[in-house]
Structures are given as C-alpha cells and as structure tokens.
Amino acid sequence: MGLKTREEYIESLRKMKPEVYMFGERLTNIVDNPRLRAGIEATAATYELASVPECRDLIVTRSPLINEPVNRFTLPPSSIEDLVARVKVNRKLGNWVGTCHQRCTGLDCLSTLSIVTYDIDKKYGTGYNKRFLEFLKNVQKNDLAANAAVTDVKGDRSLGPKEQADPDMYLRVVERRSDGIVVRGAKAHQTGSLSSHEIIALPTRALRKGDEDYAVAFAVPQDAPGLVHVVGRSSLDSRELDGCDVGNTLYSKYCPTVIFNNVFVPWERVFMCGEVEFAVDMVVKFSSFHRQSHGGCKSGKIDCMIGAALTLMDYNGTSKAGHHKQKVIDMIHRAETLYGCCLAASYEGKKEPSGTYFIDTVLANASKIHEGKEMAEAIRLMVDVSGGFVADLPSDRDLEHPEIGPMLKKYLKGVDGVPVENRIKMFRLVEKMAMESADTISDIHGGGSPEAHRVTILRETDIESKKKAARRLAGIKV
Ligand SMILES: Cc1cc2nc3c(=O)[nH]c(=O)nc-3n(C[C@H](O)[C@H](O)[C@H](O)COP(=O)(O)OP(=O)(O)OC[C@H]3O[C@@H](n4cnc5c(N)ncnc54)[C@H](O)[C@@H]3O)c2cc1C
C-alpha cells in the first residue's frame, strides 16, 4: 500500500495474467518481453521520478480523499494548482522518456469520472459517484496505473452504434445480471494497456435515446477474463525484439487493440449504465483533459528533439551555421507555444459541482490542433538539422563486423574528438523520435482526430460575445 517504487510497480505487473497476442503468438511473460518491457519502462518512469528528490514535490501530492501522499497520476485535480501541475509533470516525463509515458490517459479518465458520475447522480439519484470514489481510493492507496479504453472500432463511420451491421462495433452491455453486467466490443489503439493495472472504459461519442446499451463506463483489471490484448505493430518494433538499432535505449510505446469478449463487470465497478445524455459529457471532459495532457508531454518531447538536433550540430560541425540556429529557435518556440497553451487551459480552469477542477476546453483543444501541425514541423526541422543518416544508417551489426566495421567507423565520423559511436547513437535517437509510429501518429489522432478538436472549439466558444464586440464598434444597435 502507498506509493510504489519502480521495482514494486514492475513486480505488481508480473503478478497479472492477461491474455496477450503479438505477431500471431500468445505471450505468457509480458514483463520480460523486450518490446513490451520498453513500454512498461516508460510508465515505470512515473514511479521512478516520484522518488527522485528533485522531482518528488512535482509528482507526489496529498490526496484529500485518503489523506495520504499519492502520485499525481491518481489524483483528479481539486485546484488550479493541480491543473497546472498536470502540465508540468507531463512535460517533465515527456522530456525524460522521449516518447509516451502512457500514464496520463488513466488520470484523464479518473478526472472525467469524478465530474460526470456526480452529475449523473444529481439528476437520477444513482450511486455512481460513491462507487467511483471507492474505486479511486483503491487506485490511490495502491498507486495503480490505468489505461483509457475510449476509442471504439466503430465499423461504418457514417452510422451510429445501433445502426451498424454488427452491433458490437461499439462496446455495449449484452447482459444485465443481479451482480453486474457483461460487455462485448473492442477498443482500438490502447496505449499501454499492459503497462496498466486497470482498464477504464468510457463511451467514445455522443449517444441518443435508444443507445442505452452503449452508454456504459466501468473499470476492469487488465487481466479480467475475456479481455484480449492484441499488440499493434509499430514502425521499429522488431528492433526492440532484436535488441539492435533501437535508438531510444530505454523507452518505447505500444498500443494494443483490446477485445472485450463477454467480460463480466461487477456493479461496484460500473460508473454509468444507460444514461445516454451523459455520454457526450464523458467524451468532452475526457478528450479535453487528454488534449491538455498531450501538450505538456509533447512539449517535453520537443525538448528532447531540440537536444538531439543541437548535439548533432556539435557532432557534424554545423553548430555555428546560422540557418541551423534559426531552425532550433523555430523548434523552441513551438514547444513553448504548446506548453503555454496548456498552462493557459489550466489557469482558466473552473470548479465543477463535484469539486473537481476542469480545464478551459477551447484552450485545450487549440493546443491540440497546434500540436497536430507543429509536432510534424518540429520533426521536420530536427531531421533537416540532423542529416540524411536519419534515414539509412548502417546497422550496429555492420559496425561491429570485423571487416567492414572499421571502414564504416572511419567514414561515419563527424568532427574530430567526438567518438563515431556517439554520432551514430544520436542519429538513431533522431530516427526513433521522428519515426516511431505509435508515438508520432498520436500527435495527429491521439485524443481524437483534428476535426474533433475544431468541432469542440466551435461548440465551446462564446460566439455571441465576439459578434457583440464587433457590432458595438461598428455602431450597430440590436
Ligand atoms: C498512437 C495512438 C494512440 C492512441 N491511444 C489511445 C488510447 O490510449 N485510448 C483510446 O481510447 N484511444 C486512443 N487513440 C485513439 C484516437 O483517439 C483515435 O485514433 C481517434 O479518435 C480517431 O479515431 P480512429 O482512429 O478510429 O479514426 P477515424 O475515426 O476513422 O478517423 C479517420 C478520419 O475520418 C474522419 N471521420 C471519422 N468519422 C467521420 C464521420 N462520421 N464523418 C466525417 N468524418 C469522419 C476523422 O475526422 C478523421 O479525419 C490513440 C490513437 C493513436 C493513433
């Protein structure tokens, strides 16, 4: 009980027995699989840094719910300071792991549920909030990591859930029992589902009357019977299995498709069941929190990219080149604009009736639109500064080859005084940060596709006050 160390976290995952498939094979040892372990290590960083003196004050705080120190990734924000801390912690971690640490989505679900379960109870006199708080106490006391099972596979995008040819295209309740519910469906792109102890499912879209079976929110352990994790392919993933040319020698990211094959959920873990009109609140709250999380984390990743570009400038002999300095400035201002937008979303946050603080949705969504475009631009700038070996560097195995290795090391050298091995390692890191599809594609689609951000911005913006300001200046009286 209490805050877990990195080692305790990894051992706690070892005790879980999830059903997992990868490359057509069933895996039994998840924690020691090199591909999955690199992802688990990224989440382990959220535990490790909590015990490092210079990060402890940022990551560890006191929970008013259990009155004990907790990791911030288990704490729904109860002040503006908590909202701001979310961004700062994510930037620190994004910078530390250079990829996705995978623990923010769980916090975004916990924060959402702490608001919406209260609102549902207020309208219907249900007991979801009390159940949720019991669940949250357990998460906080045991320092558990959670994953967000939000994105349904969705079948035909032009059709709603109950209009699909196959009704399981959106996760749904297939049986209601006295002790709980049985759910069926599948959630796609499940970042770090096996690095988490708990899977928290929320609806993925607004729902209407008639969609009651799809209006379901709950939590299950990642090894619940019937839950099947199929690890998705990502570019560069076989290098981790191969143990060669990995680029980021410490961390990585993976995203399984998670199938809910008639999974039983006891009532005490069900946080919404049938209240269709609250599905949209779940989606807007979750996605806005998550878009804010992204901005903190991705500005931290750009920091790593800037560090890699500057180091390669030193190694290549271009550190005095004016256009490279300009490109580094262009990377820095992109990181800071992203960070600033997420901080602003926090400072403009408001208290919800449940007591949880919610961020400013327009600013959070504006930051995500910025991320989708500007991460790509920051990657382009990093690759421009670094050079073509980002694309086609010979393998470490060739460098170790007794005959061609010495020749390669002679010809791959940059400035004198820098070991050729260091230059090669930095090229590999740039390749990983630019081309790890499980991470770079999340810049665009993670937390919803760009159009979802735009729609939210339009819906949440006070359009009328803008029109009024213009009419006043033009001397138009309504
Ligand atoms: C790397 C990565 C990590 C992720 N991690 C998680 C996670 O941990 N948990 C989770 O729940 N989700 C996660 N996601 C999922 C993410 O939220 C979705 O990818 C996103 O919402 C888009 O859904 P989709 O992938 O099904 O694409 P689609 O919904 O098919 O979207 C593709 C395109 O079609 C458009 N489109 C879709 N439907 C319509 C329509 N009806 N009308 C008009 N245009 C439409 C979209 O705007 C978009 O341009 C992750 C995604 C990625 C890429």
Query: pLDDT (tens digit, 9 = 90+) per residue, 220-270?
Result: 999 999 999 999 999 999 999 999 999 999 999 999 999 999 999 999 999
CATH of 282-466, one of 3.40.50.170, 1.20.140.10, 3.40.50.2000, 3.40.250.10: 1.20.140.10
Task: Please name the residue whose Cα sits nearest to atom 11 of ligand 1.
Answer: 150
Which residue bears the tokens 């073509």? 388
Residue 405: partners with Cβ closer than 8 Å, 6 or more residues away: 398, 399
Per-residue tokens: 116: 């919406």
Asked if residue 426 has pLDDT above 80, the reply is: yes
Q: What is the mean pLDDT of the chain?
A: 97
Q: Determine how many CB atoms are found less than 10 A away from the CB of residue 66.
A: 18
Ligand 1 mutation pick, 151, 187, 298, max ligand atoms within 8 A of CB: 151
Helical segments of 322-417, H only? 322-347, 361-386, 389-392, 396-399, 404-411
Per-residue tokens: 225: 């019977």
Domain boundaries, the chain: 282-466
Asked if residue 478 has pLDDT above 90, the reply is: no
Give 474 Cα–ligand 1 centroid separation in angstroms: 42
What are 208-226's pLDDT values in tens digits?
999 999 999 999 999 999 9
Task: Please name the residue whose Cα sits nearest to atom 21 of ligand 1.
Answer: 448
Give 112 Cα–ligand 1 centroid separation in angstroms: 19
Give 444 Cα–ligand 1 centroid separation in angstroms: 9
Q: Determine how many CB atoms are found less than 10 A away from the CB of residue 341.
A: 24
What are 139-177's pLDDT values in tens digits?
999 999 999 999 999 999 999 999 999 999 999 999 999
Give 451 Cα–ligand 1 centroid separation in angstroms: 10
Q: Give the atom of ligand 1 at the shortest distance from the alpha carbon of 437.
A: 1
Q: Which of 231, 230, 213, 229 is nearest to 160 (CA)?
A: 213
Per-residue tokens: 224: 């619940």
What are 97-122's pLDDT values in tens digits?
999 999 999 999 999 999 999 999 99
Q: Which of 308, 305, 311 is nearest to 331 (CA)?
A: 305
The radius of gyration computed from the CA coordinates of the chain, to the nearest angstrom, equals 23
User: Looking at residues 190-216, what average pLDDT do you find?
Assistant: 98
User: Looking at residues 356-363, what average pLDDT do you find?
Assistant: 97
What are 300-333's pLDDT values in tens digits?
999 999 999 999 999 999 999 999 999 999 999 9
Residues 157, 139: Cα–Cα separation, whole Å? 35
Per-residue tokens: 170: 């959106």
User: Looking at residues 15-41, what average pLDDT do you find?
Assistant: 98
Give 448 Cα–ligand 1 centroid separation in angstroms: 5
The three-state secondary structure class of 254 is coil
216-221 and 172-176 beta bridge pairing: unpaired
Q: Is residue 395 within 8 Å of 405, Cβ to Cβ?
A: no
